[in-house]
Amino acid sequence: MAYAGPFTIEPAAARFLERDAALFIEGAFCASDGNERLAVHDPSTGAVIAHVPDATAADVDKAVRSAHAAFSDGRWRDLRPADRERVLLRLADLLEERGEAAAQIETLEQGKSINLSRMLEVGASVDWIRYAAGLSTKISGRTFDLSLPGGPAHWTAYTRREPIGVIGAIAPWNFPLMIALWKVLPALASGCSVVLKPSEVTPLTALLIAELAVEAGVPAGVFNVVTGGGAVAGRALTSHPLVAKLSFTGSTATGKAVGHAAIDGMKRFTLELGGKNPALVLRDARLDKVIPGLMAGGFLNGGQVCAAASRIYVEAPLYDDLVAGLRQAIGGVTAGPGLDPQAQLNPLASAQHSMKVRGFLDDARAAGAQILQGASVPDKGYYVSPALVLDAPEQAQLTRSEVFGPVLTITPVADAEEGLRRANDSDLGLAASVWTQDIDQAMTLTRRMEAGTVWVNSHVFIDPNMPFGGFKQSGLGRDFGSEWLNGYTEEKAVCIAH
Ligand SMILES: NC(=O)C1=CN([C@@H]2O[C@H](COP(=O)(O)OP(=O)(O)OC[C@H]3O[C@@H](n4cnc5c(N)ncnc54)[C@H](O)[C@@H]3O)[C@@H](O)[C@H]2O)C=CC1
Ligand SMILES: O=C(O)/C=C/C=C(\O)C(=O)O
């Protein structure tokens, strides 16, 4: 397919879209075993910009076997750690060099602002690759003194951390490039092999990573990509006996299915799932910080962020001013395609998702909520105007479920205690924020918030050096930080009598 939209794109991005996309197995692009193909849409127009294979179970089997053979013969895991590090650093350099084309492809398939694609999908990903590259050379075990009776006088016991094996990585469509890398990087840094299944909505940049990985020196078979849907390709990956660990980001419902499949096969698993993240604003908070902070926290990437602010609880004296400030801010946003760098509000990733978000708003309106919507949006494309929802009934679907769109509910509370109780009244517990100038209040509330990450006076900042993951139904396991590779390695105890 050729890109036929109104923007000028990099020749490398145009060439990427023009060629016939294929699966990536054993270090090369290859055809699918079946004939089904999936269309990839530009969310700003709905136009089809590419097709990818809808992988069959046989395709997935081929990819897993390739990854397993590469793992078994040690072509990657037995490299010196410093050599794995060097390859990953080269991958970072390549992504940086081709960054503009990568950012444009990401914006074209996902809809997000080109500025965000440059800053996060490419810029932050480059930092994430360099961080993970450094971990390759930091893998270490522990030593122990033993007191076993009846043995020799001396024992030496230590642990080694060894790569788990083939990682089945299942990625979502909100940050297709960055979140795919959050799975691929710890796998490669620790010496594992990978089969990555990107979301069927946004499969293109995974194929771009594969291309760059080969150029960087990742050996054939170590990194494979199968494009396709969850029902066939996803299930085939989660049930494959040669896959040792599943790493999944997406909805809580699918995450549970992936977890069940993992337990059935006794695979290791990491699940990074949904959020319904509260922001608790105390009466002493500075509105000049809160308003831009919650605009970013709630509307970054159109709210399609698992850690996005979603429910604002504000102490009553500040309620009117906060509503007025946010209302003015959403009214000033201009909507347009992601490739227009001036457009601050971009389409959501798919027609299906934009209808789902509009459905949440319609239900809440019918249940008596007052909905203040911002800028008008183009007729064509998957746009949803940013919304501030007042008086949302506590049991409404919009109040309790992950919306994953540009929607903030805002509710006055009598005091911090009521705010905390309502903030914690959710099955989900991914992230939260507290807004106050009072350090004592901040410290107390951060301890009592039921969430994997709590920000004070900011929301939605994620860093490679800070562990990330969910409490409650928001997932299992942690990504990032110095212990990131623990999720991709097994700890083996060695005990020597001498
Ligand atoms: N935590 C996060 O970052 C994300 C959360 N979501 C939430 O999930 C909701 C639904 O979005 P979906 O795209 O339908 O999410 P999903 O969780 O179904 O899809 C995520 C990935 O899982 C795959 N998948 C689906 N069913 C599978 C199965 N049975 N076995 C293995 N893989 C499977 C999909 O192909 C995709 O690659 C969104 O409205 C949003 O609330 C969606 C994307 C990212
Ligand atoms: O703020 C960011 O860097 C984006 C984070 C996105 C997620 O963690 C997610 O949606 O999974």
CB 458 within 8 A of CB 466: no
Residues 33 and 110 in one domain: yes
**Rounded distance between C-alpha atoms, residue 12 and residue 26, angstroms:** 24
Q: Which of 254, 310, 430 to mutate to test the pocket of ligand 1 (most atoms within 8 A of CB)?
A: 254
**Rounded distance between C-alpha atoms, residue 199 and residue 186, angstroms:** 20
Confirm or reject: Cβ of 308 under 6 Å from ligand 1: no
Q: In this predicted structure, what is the pLDDT of residue 19? A: 86
3-state secondary structure 410-425: EEEECCHHHHHHHHHC
Q: In this predicted structure, what is the pLDDT of residue 153? A: 74
In a domain, 289, yes or no: yes
Residues 32 and 84 in one domain: yes
Q: Whose CA is nearest to atom 2 of ligand 2?
A: 462
Pairing of strands 37-41, 48-53: antiparallel
Confirm or reject: Cβ of 249 under 6 Å from ligand 2: yes
* pLDDT tens digits along 280-300: 999 999 999 999 999 999 999
Ligand 2 geometric centre to CA of 484 (Å): 16
* pLDDT tens digits along 295-316: 999 999 999 999 999 999 999 9
In a domain, 2, yes or no: no
Residues 233 and 338 in one domain: no
| CATH number of the domain residue 300 falls in | 3.40.309.10
Residues 194 and 103 in one domain: yes
**Rounded distance between C-alpha atoms, residue 316 and residue 283, angstroms:** 7
Confirm or reject: Cβ of 230 under 6 Å from ligand 1: yes
* pLDDT tens digits along 48-75: 999 999 999 999 999 999 999 999 999 9
Q: In this predicted structure, what is the pLDDT of residue 267? A: 98
Structure tokens at 133: 């590259």
Residues 311 and 261 in one domain: no
Residues 310 and 267 in one domain: no
In a domain, 6, yes or no: no
Q: What percent of the chain has pLDDT over 90?
A: 93
Q: Which residues are tagged catalytic?
A: 272
pLDDT (mean) for 183-207: 98
Query: Quick one: the chain helix, strand, coil %, rounded to 5?
Result: 40, 20, 35
In a domain, 330, yes or no: yes
In a domain, 4, yes or no: no
Confirm or reject: Cβ of 174 under 6 Å from ligand 1: yes
Q: In this predicted structure, what is the pLDDT of residue 305? A: 98
Of 209, 206, 281, nearest in space to 50 by CA:
206
Residues 347 and 221 in one domain: no
In a domain, 46, yes or no: yes
* pLDDT tens digits along 124-163: 999 999 999 999 999 999 999 888 887 777 888 999 999 9
pLDDT (mean) for 202-217: 97
Residues 284 and 241 in one domain: no
Q: Whose CA is nearest to atom 37 of ligand 1?
A: 199
Instruction: Enumerate the β-bridge partners of residue 477.
Output: none
pLDDT (mean) for 393-402: 91
Q: Whose CA is nearest to atom 26 of ligand 1?
A: 230
Confirm or reject: Cβ of 433 under 6 Å from ligand 2: no
Residues 25 and 43 in one domain: yes
Confirm or reject: Cβ of 305 under 6 Å from ligand 2: yes
Ligand 1 geometric centre to CA of 37 (Å): 19
Which pTM does this prediction carry?
A: 0.97
Confirm or reject: Cβ of 307 under 6 Å from ligand 2: yes
In a domain, 470, yes or no: no
pLDDT (mean) for 318-337: 96
**Rounded distance between C-alpha atoms, residue 65 and residue 241, angstroms:** 10
Q: Which domain holds residue 37?
A: 11-273+475-494
In a domain, 1, yes or no: no
Number of domains in the chain: 2
Q: Which of 170, 175, 271 to mutate to test the pocket of ligand 1 (most atoms within 8 A of CB)?
A: 170
Atom nearest to 274 CA in ligand 1:
1
Residue with tokens 């150029």: 215
Residues 189 and 210 in one domain: yes
Residues 266 and 234 in one domain: yes
**Rounded distance between C-alpha atoms, residue 384 and residue 345, angstroms:** 9
Count CB neighbours of 321 within 10 A. Answer: 13
359 CB-near residues (< 8 Å, 6+ apart): none
Residues 159 and 269 in one domain: yes
